[in-house]
Structure 1
Amino acid sequence: MAGQVTLSDVAREAGVSLATASRALNGSANRTVGADLRERVLEAASRLRYSPDGVAQAMARGRTTALGLVVPDIADPACAALASGVVAAAEDAGLSVTLTSTRHEPGREAALVALLERQRARAVVLAGGRQADPAGEQAVRAAVDSFRAVGGAVASVGRATFGVPTVVVGDREGASDLVTALHGRGYRRFAVLAGPQTHTLAADRSAGAVAALAALGCPPPVVVRGAFSRDGGYEGMRQVVEDRADVQVVLAVSDVMAAGALAAARDAGLSVPGDLAVAGYGDVGLLRDAMPGLTTVRLPLADIGALAVRLALEPPAAGEPETVRVTGQVVLRGSTPGV
């Protein structure tokens, strides 16, 4: 049976050495096999219905055909949207994707890169959402440098802090644009569900919103910290309702947090947008059919994922690593009709 045929059987059938059979079928980082010999080995393997060992191939080539994707939260729809772009681009390049999650835990990102190095992944995409932790970033940089030193490729989504090609998302600018658009609809008194102070993505978005409000001459917003999750949005909105202070519009720094905020408003007996307007960030598919439609900042998440794969797999250029900046687009919907 095919599963019982060994590489030695193929070598014997083709009349070549075991090493030659291995190089013909698995490739080699150092030596190649002539076309005639390779054809003879392939024909022998076909006759015997030999199934190559993927691990053996990786050992011979020095790399597997896997691309590792590291995200903060597999359950987050934004991560899922980005992952869809990574998977599509990886498949086009003949690679499979190994999906891993930091679960928002400092230290896991470096550990996951080290694990992917041990597994001989060809490339890694680090997909943002990390904690503001200098020691943790130093550990990630060391893990990235180690991975690249043995031939692996790395690209990042987020801040350009690891010396690798990076897709930088203009989250501060996106939040500023959102606030400006809401100001244009007559809103002046804001609350910001800002997520954790240590979450770099949430911090950029909340900082962009607060700075824009100051530039527009609006009163300082009510800023509520909490988890970067649906439950964080729910608890944040509950606090805003309890200490409302005449807030007109609540801006959540992610659509998932906005979903929690909408649920909390409903549970408190408030109408959105009749009593309180709500906006999010990201434009994930999960909330596009919400009633009322959620005002947000649309990010081309699948395109960002595909772009990160391209940056990872391109031959490294001389000089500084390539940085591509992507900006979001404000989408005004029924959750913020204006005042």
Structure 2
Amino acid sequence: MPVKLTEVARQAGVSLATASRVLNGSSRTPAADIADRVRAAAEELGYIANAQAQALARSTTGLVGLVVHDIADPYFSAIARGVQQAALESRHQVLLAGTDLEGDAGSPGGAELAAVSAFISYRTDAIILAASRLLNEDPRLIKALSQYIGNGGRVVTLGPSSIPEAHVVNIANHDGAAELVGALLDRGLSRFVILAGPHERNTARVRVEGFLAGLSQAACEPLAVINGAFSSQGGYDSTLEYLESLDTESASLLTSDGDSPLCFLAANDVMALGAMTALRSRKLRIPEDAQVAGFDDIPTLRDHFPGLTTYSLPLEEIGKIAAQLALTPSTKQPAELTGSVVLRESAGGQVINP
């Protein structure tokens, strides 16, 4: 049962009117020690301000909260578009928050927690977490969302999480990565460097596990696995880190006629694009001297040359399914959403002169 304001007042040892003034933003505020006591009681009991539980029980606010990592990332913008399409069909509006600029005094996950807390205070009918989940979730986030779900809210994550009772959109990150490696091996590539992204992010880690599984099937091991930021800058930095680790003899193998080209496998497309920029900065040609493959097939790839080989996911469809799970309780939990390998000029595909 939702926690009532009367319970908070009783726990704090104050009147119902006093508790209401503290938690509902009244201009008539009690003494600081009394206000602190009321807020502590509310947090301990899991009380949610603005009567979110009653609003969800009697009606709908017509709002859904969407949390992404980087609003400027085409991966998230494509998913957001799908969420918006499905939300409009359900007569909902989307509130969007990005977490790439961390808050809460630098605390890990502080920006995401702040976004979720804001969505809860706005009494959104559902919250969709599109950013990759962490290996170890912030316990404060789990607590806030568990209370929100207990009060009738719905939470959807892209990929598994440790948030109890959250609905999950499962994506073929592992199998898709293995399939991509298999396609590249079939094209004769045999030397790979994995640009792994951050190990603590489930999406990056699972994709890397898929890359490794695909290589293992061919009794092949990567030359290196380099962790970095899940961004274009991360791909750029990780690629330069590998190139700078090579001695003169090893560096010459990048363009040796006796070996297959070295292929940089990136955990997402934006990292792959950063890797291509890094290779060009060292006067290396793509795909002649080195090759690159990514994951996602973000919409902006059409603007890049050479075209990026990748594992293509139905990003807008993923967003639509997430919104349907969030806003339509009768929606059936889908099986794993799969994509397909797309071979372009950066690795495995036909080279097209500009």
Task: Please classify the TM superposition score into its range, dividing by the shorter chain length.
Answer: 0.7 to 0.9
| Correspondence 1:73 to 2:74 | no
User: Which residue of the partner structure matches residue 229 of structure 2?
Assistant: 227
| TM alignment of 1:227-266, pairs within 5 A | 227-244=229-246, 245=250, 246=253, 248-266=262-280
**CA displacement 1:65-123 (0-9 Å, x = unmatched):** 11100112212110111000001110111110000122274244344223211111111
* Unaligned residue ranges in structure 2 (runs of 5+): 1-54, 103-107, 255-261
- Deviation of 1:229 (Å): 0.7
1:253-305 CA-to-partner distances (Å, cap 9, x unmatched) read 11101111111111110000010011111100112232111100101010000
Q: Are residues 59 and 331 of structure 1, via their aligned partners in 2, closer, same or farther at CA, if it must alter by over 3 Å?
A: closer
Of 150-159 and 248-257, the range deviating more from structure 2: 150-159
* Counterpart contact for 2:228–2:237, Cα < 8 Å: yes
Q: CA RMSD in A?
A: 2.5
Identity, % of aligned positions: 40
Equivalent of 2:92, from 78, 91, 95? 95
CA gap 1:92/1:147 in 2 versus in 1, 3 angstroms: same
TM-score w.r.t. the length of structure 1 is: 0.76
**Aligned partners of 2:154, 2:213: CA distance in 1, in Å?**
37
1:310-325 maps to which residues of 2 (within 5 A)?
Answer: 310-315=324-329, 322=333, 324-325=335-336
Which residue of structure 2 aligns with residue 171 of structure 1?
173
Q: Over alpha carbons, which structure has the higher Rg?
A: 1
Write the distance in 2 (CA, Å) between the matches of 1:87 and 1:213.
38
* Residues in 2 aligned to 1:296 and 1:178: alpha-carbon distance in whole angstroms: 7
CA distance in 2, matches of 1:60, 1:196: 40
How far residue 224 of structure 1 moved from its aligned partner, in angstroms, is 1.2
Q: Which amino acid aligns with 1:298?
A: S
Distance of 2:208 and 2:68 partners within structure 1: 21
**Alpha-carbon distance in structure 2 between the residues aligned to 1:106 and 1:226:** 18
Name the TM-score, length of structure 2 as normaliser.
0.73
1:213: how far off? 1.0
Identify which of 186, 192, 199 aligns with 1:197: 199
Question: Which of 110, 114, 119 is the matching residue for 1:116?
Answer: 119
Task: State the Cα distance separating 1:140 from its structure 2 match.
Answer: 3.0
- Report the Cα offset of residue 125 of structure 1: 1.0
Question: 2 CA distance for matches of 1:249 and 1:151?
Answer: 48
User: 1:334 aligned to 2:345?
Assistant: yes
Report deviation, 1:323: 5.0
Unpaired stretches in structure 1, ≥5 consecutive residues: 1-57
In the alignment, which residue of structure 2 is the partner of 1:292? 306
1:59 and 1:166 map into 2 onto residues whose CA distance is 21
Q: Which moved more, 1:213-222 or 1:74-83?
A: 213-222
CA distance in 1, matches of 2:56, 2:126: 16
* Cα displacement string for residues 139-197 of structure 1 (whole angstroms, at most 9, x for unaligned residues): 33322221122222222211153322211111111111111110000011100111111
Structure 1 residues 26-37: aligned runs within 5 Å: none
Judge conservation of contact 2:198–2:204 (CA < 8 Å) in 1: yes
Q: Residues 131 and 198 of structure 1 are in contact (CA less than 8 Å); yes or no, is this contact kept in structure 2?
A: yes
Cα gap change, 1:145 to 1:271, in 2 (>3 Å): same
Q: Which amino acid letter does the alignment assign opposite residue 96 of structure 1?
A: Q
SS at match of 2:198: coil
